[in-house]
Structure 1
């Protein structure tokens, strides 16, 4: 498997950045480039000061001049030119037209990255982070959060896998665009069982079960409609599936969508996730159930509870501006909120759940806040939308 080159895109116009990122993810360039995008000068300069070393910086004149004016650049750079500028007239300036066919532009970027040895750099020095989205009750908006988070991380330029472990897969409402993969998750579960029963302990191969979910802008498995099969997944089955996704070293993040009563599947996620995002609602039932659930985990498995508590972040979904109900435990605190979207109350088109500008903006903020704060993985974005 080719290891993607790390490219920084610094362009102030978000209308230029987003279509380019979408094209990268939906094309073969997604396996060659890992793109981190910025639309604000301050965020771009902060990233370049952070010690991260990309293989190539590509940007417009204003962004590049702000960076280069601080001293000699140690990273190769490429100017997206819109005509004569002080930077384009500088000796040794490497430039290409900002507006040209995307395949042609990306070919130029890949070529420049190869010159700097980009394809030889390992993308992930550690284990791929697993982000578990959990809730103690149904109807909290957990799946909406998980899918929007996977999509927004993908828009940032990260390679994301969305794993749905619900008995009834919510993502089935959003067609993936894949063809001929019906029933593939059932075959994958058969392989999972067979791999564990094999005396030779054959390594589980998942590559041919992975699909590109165009609606979510990330990879996934084709949804299964066999509730019984999924309900019978054990801790070992789920752990093997997660381990196989991690060990392929193809993803920057794995977002796992669970359900409150998923039993052994949830147990595996609680054990393996590097970050657990608990979804709360500001009502008595949600707070009560969340408190009881954590109380029971602490009583039955104190060691696991202690580990889970360290990796947990609590967010309130459908927040209206003021928290009315108190938290059920003294060791809980609110780490973030996501807004109430009134138009979703009478939703008649499922795709609107993934296209609310307000909700997407707040999910993106939450991703930056929680993931940077956790130390699991850095998330950098311009935030200029």
Structure 2
């Protein structure tokens, strides 16, 4: 699928120019090509040449004149008063003008892709990498590692999608935005998988402060247990088909549930969090044996205090990196605490550079500084 041709006819020239500038300087530049029109006459000249595909985005001022105009373009209306259309089957969708431009364009893409029903397939162009963060025990700091890595990559200009496949995701407490759409995602995965790609544009959430998109389950425990490996494969392929992200960070729970194993199989890199604890070492050995040989596994020792008591050589993989113990996280009483350790956050990025990008560092860099 090529770029969506977006034709904008708006009496508010400042708004349309801001929209065009946002498209041209954001990740949407890869998927949308925009042209602005300030008068109806100029647009009608274009329509006479009959462009075959694209979106005609109209302000409410021009809607009455073009409502019944025959065109192969997909019409949508910028409204100052009407909320976003919710149903894909809406003949002419309305988009609320005063929402964020990111949300507006996500909805625009979703409506367009749904109406054209483009097939979902993985792409090799500008290939998205899937990085899964896993552990054999709970309370290992796995979600902390995943969300801080996503934050660091986003703040450095990478396009990031954070996906939690835990039965209950604590990240829902830490992220801003509407995180209650996972149940709808599960519905389409099971009932209408062919529609999943376009639906993702509407179902994903956005944290505007962290500048990333995400999906996290809230209270869908039973549904998550019913989610199988094929569902995960379809979800990953749908995310890849959007061609919008450099990295998908997948936060997994400590289990060998089929959805977890499939995510590990689909990953380009697996960051396996371990603790300096005999019980953790035993469970890690057992799970590693159960799963068989998986490539690109990086064992990362978390909550490192400067000393190591257990011997991890039995894993047949050396400890690739050591993340520091953060005393402030021993008891967490507010979501603000999650973001207050600059030390840990920066070291997740050092971890990324070392393991994922393969950059060479002195040995000191493989041992993150232990917090005092």
Q: Tell me whether the two structures share a fold, i.e. TM-score over 0.5.
A: yes
Where relative contact order (Cα < 8 A, 6+ residues apart) is larger, the structure is: 1
- Cα 1:175–1:362 change in 2 (3 A) is closer
Cα distance in 1 between the residues matched to 2:271 and 2:201: 27
SS at 2:358's partner residue?
A: helix
Cα distance in 1 between the residues matched to 2:216 and 2:267: 22
Which runs of 5 or more residues in structure 2 are unaligned?
5-21, 31-122, 361-372
TM (normalized to structure 1)? 0.60
What does 1:232-251 align with in structure 2 at a 5 Å threshold? 232-251=226-245
SS at 1:314's partner residue?
A: strand
SS at 1:313's partner residue?
A: strand
Aligned residue among 350, 358, 363 for 2:335: 350
Verify: 1:208 aligned to 2:205, yes or no. no
SS at 2:183's partner residue?
A: helix
User: What CA deviation, in whole Å up to 9, does each residue of 1:150-189 have, x standing for no partner?
Assistant: 11110110000000000001111124233xx63x211111
Cα distance in 1 between the residues matched to 2:253 and 2:216: 18
Kept in 2: contact 1:171–1:223 (CA 8 A): no
TM (normalized to structure 2)? 0.62
Residue in 1 that maps onto 2:260: 266
Residue in 2 that maps onto 1:37: none
Verify: 1:324 aligned to 2:309, yes or no. yes
Verify: 1:31 aligned to 2:16, yes or no. no
Instruction: After superposing the two structures, state which structure 1 stretch, 168-177 or 366-375, moved more.
Output: 366-375
Kept in 2: contact 1:315–1:335 (CA 8 A): yes
Cα distance in 2 between the residues matched to 1:294 and 1:259: 15
Cα distance in 2 between the residues matched to 1:296 and 1:152: 33
Kept in 2: contact 1:141–1:317 (CA 8 A): yes
Q: Following TM superposition, where does structure 1 have runs of at least 4 consecutive aligned residues deviating by more than 6 angstroms?
A: none
Kept in 2: contact 1:314–1:333 (CA 8 A): yes
What does 1:54-203 align with in structure 2 at a 5 Å threshold? 125-178=125-178, 182=180, 184-196=181-193
SS at 2:168's partner residue?
A: coil
1:222 deviates by 5.3
Cα distance in 1 between the residues matched to 2:276 and 2:236: 32
Verify: 1:284 aligned to 2:266, yes or no. no
Cα distance in 2 between the residues matched to 1:143 and 1:185: 18
1:31 deviates by 2.8
Which runs of 5 or more residues in structure 1 are unaligned?
4-26, 35-122, 299-304, 376-385
1:203 deviates by 6.0
Cα distance in 1 between the residues matched to 2:338 and 2:255: 24
1:210 deviates by 1.6
Aligned residue among 318, 339, 342 for 1:333: 318
Instruction: After superposing the two structures, state which structure 1 stretch, 168-177 or 271-280, moved more.
Output: 168-177
Residue in 2 that maps onto 1:371: 356
Cα distance in 2 between the residues matched to 1:320 and 1:149: 21
Kept in 2: contact 1:129–1:274 (CA 8 A): yes
1:202 deviates by 5.4
User: What CA deviation, in whole Å up to 9, does each residue of 1:275-328 have, x standing for no partner?
Assistant: 000000011111111011112223xxxxxx2xx1x2111100001112210016
Cα distance in 1 between the residues matched to 2:189 and 2:272: 28
Cα distance in 2 between the residues matched to 1:262 and 1:222: 19
Residue in 1 that maps onto 2:251: 257
Cα distance in 2 between the residues matched to 1:31 and 1:255: 18
Residue in 1 that maps onto 2:364: none
1:33 deviates by 7.0
Residue in 1 that maps onto 2:222: 228
RMSD: 2.5
Q: Count how many residue pairs are aligned between Structure 1 and Structure 2.
A: 248
Kept in 1: contact 2:167–2:217 (CA 8 A): no
SS at 1:346's partner residue?
A: coil
